[in-house]
Amino acid sequence: MAVARFKDLCLDARDHQAQADWWCAVLGYVRHESGDGPRDPTWPVPLRDPSGAGPFLWVNPVAEPKTVKNRMHLDVVGDLAGLLAAGATMVRSRAEDRPWDVLADPEGNEFCAFRPEA
């Protein structure tokens, strides 16, 4: 019997506002606005998939820079050239035994990029 259920994904960032904008641009997500007026810019930024298909993503402000490999990461399906042009960096290219590229977002958070199926 489960004692918990999946709710959201959270990503820590030093510049959480810029990271929220970056992830919105590459995923097609939008900032989730509440009806309570403008959100305090020092608070975490909630992002949502406008189609409703993807999970909710929070970009949380933290003071410390990223220093070690992520223990959990995002997997995306997308255009490698487009991701790199948007500011991602290549960490490890796909190989015969691994059909995905490992990239990093502008703050160095690793994510795996799978190519769209033909």
- pLDDT by residue, tens only, the chain of 118 residues: 899 899 999 999 999 999 999 999 999 999 998 777 778 889 999 999 999 999 999 999 999 989 998 889 999 999 999 999 999 999 999 998 999 999 999 999 999 999 998 5
What pLDDT does residue 63 have? 95
Where in 1-105 does DSSP place strands (E)?
9-13, 30-31, 45-48, 57-61, 74-77, 89-92, 101-104
What pLDDT does residue 34 have? 77
CATH architecture of the domain with range 9-33+42-114: Roll (3.10)
In the chain, what are the domain boundaries? Answer: 9-33+42-114
Handedness of CA 19, 25, 26, 27 (dihedral sign): positive
